[in-house]
Amino acid sequence: MPKMLNESAQPAGEALLELRKLRVSFNDGRGGEVVRGIDLAMEEGETLGLVGESGSGKTVTALTIAGLLSENLVTVSGEIIFGGKDLLKCSRSELRALQGRDIGMIFQEPMTSLDPLMRIGFQVEEPLRLHTKLPYRERRKKALEVMGLVDLPEPSETYRKFPHQLSGGQRQRAMIASAFITHPKLLILDEPTTALDVTVQKQILDLLRTLNERHSVGLLFISHDLRVVRHICRKVAVMYQGEIVEYGDTAQVFSNPQHEYTQRLVAAVSAGRRVYD
């Protein structure tokens, strides 16, 4: 069994994120509802895994929380309470301040999530440029500090590099550094390790775990890879066809799945479990 997370993190704190009856449908004329009224809560410093097959609505949920779905494209109803505020009712500038500082997001493909024509250092410190008034020197100092924290080799050199000069794992580390530099309360990770090979996967997961334990960053971990979720998340929610069909402690859900879909999921990866542990 992987070591349980969060034993050191504060127990049952204030709710960090709460989804209430969240519904998302695409405005494509067919009225396809992708997320069908889900309720979900996360405490501060918690690690929550959102698992499900492709098309189950987990990524759409994440993008909705991050406010990255265009209003022309989707209709959202329900509430997303973050830090005591309903994100769906916030003005654009309020969202900008809140999301940029307190919510970070890591995407699946580290190749495309960094601007290919901008030096790594600038991208890492960009949130500081936007949300603080720190002068360049201070920003650079902080960027180097965070880059060291995420184990990027020789930060001062990497600072000047371009994304194509880094490996996939390093790019993902740079992404994490950029998302983490403002010390957000929540990191949304959309399949952050899917594009990486297994050894690098492990390193990135360990890094995320460290950030969670030392800095109590809440992790909302979206994945279809149950082994990864088992490895890092304390709580897990299983999504199936736009609904959450099962929610609970990771160990419990996986050892004693209630819903039929979860049982099938767990059965499907039980062969792989031994390899990973």
Query: Smallest distance, Å, CB 89 to other proteins?
Result: 18
Query: Smallest distance, Å, CB 16 to other proteins?
Result: 17
* Closer residue to other proteins in complex, CB, 13/136: 136
Query: Smallest distance, Å, CB 128 to other proteins?
Result: 10
**Angle ∠(211,15,245) on CA atoms, nearest 5:** 90
Query: Smallest distance, Å, CB 179 to other proteins?
Result: 8
Q: Which residue has the tokens 């201070």?
A: 138
* Closer residue to other proteins in complex, CB, 57/67: 67
Strand order in the sheet with 85-86: 33-43, 15-26, 74-82, 85-86
Give the HSE-up count for residue 10: Cα atoms under 13 Å, Cβ half-sphere: 13
* Closer residue to other proteins in complex, CB, 80/114: 114
* Closer residue to other proteins in complex, CB, 92/137: 92
Residues 222 and 35 sit within 8 Å (Cβ to Cβ): no
Residues at the site binding other proteins, with contacts judged by CB under 8 A: 66-68, 70, 72, 95-97, 99-101, 103-105, 107-109, 111-118, 126-127, 130-131, 162, 164, 175, 178
Give the HSE-up count for residue 24: Cα atoms under 13 Å, Cβ half-sphere: 29
Query: Smallest distance, Å, CB 60 to other proteins?
Result: 13
* Closer residue to other proteins in complex, CB, 101/142: 101
Provide the token pair at 210. Answer: 């460290």
Interatomic CA distance for residues 122 and 114, integer angstroms: 11
* Closer residue to other proteins in complex, CB, 6/59: 59
> Cβ neighbours of residue 140 under 8 Å, at least 6 residues apart?
121, 125, 159
Query: Smallest distance, Å, CB 242 to other proteins?
Result: 22
**DSSP per residue over 16-85, as a string?**
EEEEEEEEEEE-SSS--EEEEEEEEEEETT-EEEEE--TTSSHHHHHHHHHT-S-TTTEEEEEEEEETTE
Query: Smallest distance, Å, CB 14 to other proteins?
Result: 23
* Closer residue to other proteins in complex, CB, 114/149: 114
